[in-house]
Amino acid sequence: MTDNLTNGSLKTSVENKIATIEFGHPSGNSFPASLLKQLSEEINNLGNNKDIALILLKSSGTGAFCAGASFDELLEISNLEEGNSFFSGFANLINAMRKCPKLIIGRIHGKTVGGGVGIAAACDYALATSHAAIKLSELAIGIGPFVIEPAVSRKIGKTAMTEMTLEAHEWKKAGWAKDKGLYADVFETVEDLDIAITTLCTKLSSYNPEALCQMKKVFWEGTEHWQTLLYERAAISGQLVLSDFTIKALQAFKK
């Protein structure tokens, strides 16, 4: 477990073969590079744990589910190598979720932006509250949702992905996300969400683990090229984040 104001927090608990990973950060549960790395490693470790049947991914607090990349760290990127390395953190995480032999259930309790939408999309099954609106704001700050695009498009399709990307200042309601396939269901309250998640996870954890593993492989068929594609996309973002446009946009946002 790690927990501090700079790097955020990550903690895992296990009960009845269900591993619950909870990440958090004071800035809207955003992701600095170190937290991305820790979450990727934790998913890899749990995937290899024979005593784990299922992974539940959630975030801390009652506000945003995930505000995406850490703006503080984006502003600190000073060269292509640093930019590529930072965005490769999201590539590592999505690939870890994709290749993990355990099903990953997402608990999306609040608003989700940018990379957070990619994380929700990379879950095998996501349940949300009606407060879990989504937005891809990357174009507004001079970059684009390049790394997460394959995961998001896989869930909601290219047309909806295009709509979200070009409407970079617009929130899409949780109901819209459900209709497009990002969320399997949406609940009015967190209490109702947690009841549904507990019921679902209890059922899934009782199923044949080998059947679940083999089905996950089927779910993700045709994504093997992501092992290369996502890092090519990270390089694009890593270059764009150095542009004058993006630097000024990030500074204006912070102010």
The domains of the chain are located at: 2-192+206-254
What pLDDT, on the 0 to 100 scale, is given for residue 4? Answer: 57
Q: Is 207 helix (H, G, I), strand (E, B) or coil?
A: coil
Average pLDDT, the chain: 96
The pLDDT assigned to 1 comes to 47
Q: Residue written as tokens 């990953």?
A: 104
- pLDDT grade for 251, boundaries at 50, 70 and 90: confident
Would you state the pLDDT for residue 154?
98
Dihedral (CA of 215, 95, 195, 182) sign: negative
Question: pLDDT by residue (tens digit) across 80-96?
Answer: 999 999 999 999 999 99
Mean local confidence (pLDDT), 32-56: 97
Protein fold of 2-192+206-254: 2-enoyl-CoA Hydratase; Chain A, domain 1 (3.90.226)
pTM of the model: 0.96
Angle (CA) 217 221 227, round 5° = 95
109-160 pLDDT, tens digit per residue, is 999 999 999 999 999 999 999 999 999 999 999 999 999 999 999 999 999 9
Residue found under tokens 């630097």: 247
Is the Cβ–Cβ distance between 176 and 170 less than 8 Å?
Answer: no
